[in-house]
Structure 1
Amino acid sequence: MQKNSWSDPFEYISLGKLLKQYNIALNKRLGQHFLSDWNTLRRIVELATVSEEDLVLEIGCGAGTLTTTIAATGASVIGIEIDRSLAPLLTDRFMDHTNVNIIYDDALNLDFQKLLNQQKNFSQLKIIANVPYYITSALVEKFLLEIPFAETIVVLVQQEAGEHFTAKSGKSFGPLTVLCQTYGEVREVFKVKPSLFLPPPQVISSVIQMTSRKLPVVLDYLAFYDFLQSCFKQRRKTLINNLHHAFPQFEKSSLEKILQELGLELAIRPDRVDVKTFCNLFKYFC
């Protein structure tokens, strides 16, 4: 992470005191748990390999602690924050820094492609998100379907949710798992204790890093994701039955031949098929 003369006016004020100073009460409905440990914040930014030539899309600015750590690299930062009660704090924190732009909106409703088309002169797009756990999957899905050209995605998620990104098979393995691992290398890097948040959540969190492939395996992510959802339509049924239901124009004998060509058992269920095989299977139907 690069060093420069960037400074934080609230560097020596604890998160609790800062929230009290601005009369901010955390919103349970929004699932707000603010990460307060500076070492963990720095590790997250280092995982995204942020440089001053990059554009970083940060989802969930909170009190601006992670935003501050990103902006200190010199990168341009677009922060998305749904809670407008945090605006006075964030405005004061970043008023003297031209490389930070905070947008107050619901990230799930934003048109990311349109937003990024307005940005110029950046080397790579990096995404960093510390968001309520209940929207994690929907948000990662939105990243991959709308802006799959991001070079790195780093998300802080509930440990159980992280398993849906990193699983290789089984109950946590589904369409989003395959989509993530088609995008690139996905790994859990480290866990974060509840005590490092304010207020502490009741679960352990995981930091997940996704690094894009140099050459894309799939060109049409939307069509591929629709295909994956068809494959997992009824998880307890076999893959061939789900395919036959989704693609009735294929005779079952034709589907059997396709699976045999890919070395798959006819009785295999979708959560037992690996990511590479799903990519090869998609070629028969796209």
Structure 2
Amino acid sequence: MEEPSGAQLLGPVEIRALAEKLDVTPTKKLGQNFVHDPNTVRRIVGAAGLTAEDHVVEVGPGLGSLTLALVDVAKTVTAVEIDPRLAAELPATFQWRAPDLADKLSIVLKDALQVKQADLAVQPTALVANLPYNVSVPVLLHMMEEFPTITKVLVMVQAEVADRLAADPGSKIYGVPSVKASFYGPVTKAGSIGKNVFWPAPKIESGLVKITRVETPWQQDDETRKKVWPIIDAAFLQRRKTLRAALSGYFGSAQAAEDALRAANIDPGLRGEKLDIADYVRLGLQEA
């Protein structure tokens, strides 16, 4: 039973009623699938490891299922929503389901890929979201890049994307998302989510991914990313090639690539999937 002062979470009946009220049909274009299971959103919030001091940013709040659970725990929640109808309805939903907590919520009507620090009144310490599946990796990387204050990440994405993000070097599914996400700290899977907790039920399973931002030997800034990201992209563009061949275009020739790799103490005969983020950073920074 919910505490009177807390948030009353949304179930299937409330989700359908809200959608009908707004004449909203979840769209594939916006990657919308609304969670209608209270236990699932509680599980997500629990896995995020939030405290009462955290300022959370949520991308794609939709009808507010996860948002309501977040305000029960966090100090503030900023919801970034691209759909004006959904953004406009959130305050009313909070007056209905969590009136005593409504002042903890801020809403930003914007495409998450375009969100800047100046758009948020409070800089977030955590990103917790059911990310739009069609743009989940770009949104995740953009938010990590734009908000260095984010130290905790718990996002729900397609199961195969979760596997790729958390993959280790040497794995067949280890690739650009795996390397770039690990630039900020350890990336792990935090569980699986079935199809039936969503409306409409997607055709694929979902997974939870956790990232803990840590201090790294390299600066997590634009200057470092500009030197390292193109090398990662080039290394995986033709992943069956050796690094000597794959990076020949980036460095100007196969010999130049080999020289740079050897200078970074990396075997030019390896493929990109064998290197971890520290290798890529070392190669990018020593080349400068």
How much identity, in percent, do the aligned residues show?
A: 27
Distance 1:157 1:19, change over 3 A: same
Distance 1:74 1:244, change over 3 A: closer
Could you give the per-residue CA deviations for residues 37-89 of structure 1, whole angstroms, max 9, x where no partner exists? 21221121122222222211100111101000001114211101111222453
Deviation at 1:34, TM superposition (A): 0.8
SS at match of 2:204: coil
1:58 is aligned with what amino acid?
Answer: E
Does the 8 A contact of 1:61 with 1:79 survive in 2?
yes
Q: Is 1:142 aligned with 2:146? A: no
1:100 is aligned with what amino acid?
Answer: L
Number of the residue aligned with 1:161: 161
- Superposed counterparts of 1:1-286, under 5 Å: 5-8=5-8, 14-95=14-95, 96=99, 97-111=102-116, 113-116=117-120, 118-119=121-122, 125-168=125-168, 169-215=170-216, 217-219=218-220, 220-248=224-252, 252=255, 255-256=257-258, 258-260=260-262, 264-286=266-288
Could you give the per-residue CA deviations for residues 168-210 of structure 1, whole angstroms, max 9, x where no partner exists? 2344322331111121111111110001111100000001011
Distance 1:9 1:126, change over 3 A: closer
Deviation at 1:263, TM superposition (A): 5.5
Could you give the per-residue CA deviations for residues 85-138 of structure 1, whole angstroms, max 9, x where no partner exists? 224531212244111011222111222x2224x427xxx610012122110111
Query: How far apart are the structure 1 equivalents of 2:126 and 2:74?
Result: 13
Does the 8 A contact of 2:52 with 2:74 survive in 1?
yes
TM-score (norm: length of structure 1): 0.85
Query: How far apart are the structure 1 equivalents of 2:4 and 2:246?
Result: 55
1:179 is aligned with what amino acid?
Answer: K
Query: How far apart are the structure 1 equivalents of 2:9 and 2:130?
Result: 22
Deviation at 1:147, TM superposition (A): 2.1
SS at match of 2:186: strand
Distance 1:7 1:223, change over 3 A: same
Query: How far apart are the structure 1 equivalents of 2:147 and 2:74?
Result: 23
Query: How far apart are the structure 2 equivalents of 1:162 and 1:275?
Result: 18
User: Structure 2 unaligned runs (5+)?
Assistant: none
Higher share of residues assigned helix: 2
Does the 8 A contact of 1:182 with 1:218 survive in 2?
no
**How many residues end up aligned between the 2 structures?**
277
Query: How far apart are the structure 1 equivalents of 2:9 and 2:33?
Result: 22
Deviation at 1:230, TM superposition (A): 3.1
TM-score (norm: length of structure 2): 0.85
Q: CA-atom RMSD, angstroms?
A: 2.7
Does the 8 A contact of 1:192 with 1:206 survive in 2?
yes
SS at match of 1:200: coil
SS at match of 1:189: strand
Deviation at 1:216, TM superposition (A): 5.2
Could you give the per-residue CA deviations for residues 132-156 of structure 1, whole angstroms, max 9, x where no partner exists? 2110111112123222441011110
2:273 is aligned with what amino acid?
Answer: D
User: Structure 1 unaligned runs (5+)?
Assistant: none
Query: How far apart are the structure 2 equivalents of 1:9 and 1:176?
Result: 33
Does the 8 A contact of 1:240 with 1:266 survive in 2?
yes
